[in-house]
Amino acid sequence: VEVEETYIMIKPDGVQRGLVGEIISRFEKKGFKLTGLKLFQCPKELAQEHYKDLQSKPFFPKLIDYITSGPVVCMAWEGVGVVASARKLIGATNPLNAEPGTIRGDLAVQTGRNVVHGSDSPENGKREIALWFKEGELCEWAPVQEPWLKE
Ligand code: DAT
Ligand code: MG
């Protein structure tokens, strides 16, 4: 498994419900490296581009309304196997099917209010980080804990 990047986003319900710290801390505690972070009001066009694979779905308009209904927290995280690991920490798309211990399993009940997004492949991780962050908004840095996380 390689060092990867993933795009994690706390959706407007997560921000409104005061879950920002709780959600960020789960990725921090796991041992991944935060390389980008901002609070952001997403324009409709960006939401549509982000979810373009779902364009033809009946729920697409509602999804775009939801994602643009308030500020989101945009994050880039880096680490060994971070893409799949973050998806596990997040849990199933429908929070009612998400295992306890996962973010959606612990903190959400409906698919249309599932509090957090995570990229589904390393390619999409790169694509989404490039979509949501401008150059200069990402930081390359060496956490002091690194030798205690990697053999
Ligand atoms: P995930 O967010 O787990 O990667 P996805 O990429 O299939 O799931 O869908 C993106 C978002 O679209 C999802 O978080 C919530 C919404 N969505 C997906 N399937 C839905 C459905 N059947 N009804 C309503 N909203 C749905
Ligand atoms: Mg997805």
Q: What is the ipTM of this complex?
A: 0.98
Q: Is 78 within 8 Å of 122 (Cβ atoms)?
A: no
Average pLDDT, the chain: 98
CA-nearest of 18, 71, 23, 13 to 47 is: 71
Phi first, then psi: give them for residue 7, nearest 5 degrees: -100, 120
- d(CA 50, ligand 2 centre) in Å: 10
User: Under the phi-then-psi rule, with left for phi > 0, alpha for psi from -120 to 50, and beta for the rest, what region is 111?
Assistant: alpha
List, for residues 51-66, the tens digit of each pLDDT value: 999 999 999 999 999 9
Q: Which of 34, 2, 39, 32 is nearest to 121 (CA)?
A: 2
- Kindly list the protein residues whose Cβ atom lies closer than 6 A to any atom of ligand 1: 54, 59, 63, 93, 111-112, 114, 117, 120
* Residue 127 assigned to a binding site: no
| pTM, rounded to two decimals | 0.98
Q: Confirm if 75 and 6 have CB atoms less than 8 A apart.
A: no
Q: What is the pLDDT of residues 102-145, one digit of tens each?
A: 999 999 999 999 999 999 999 999 999 999 999 999 999 999 99
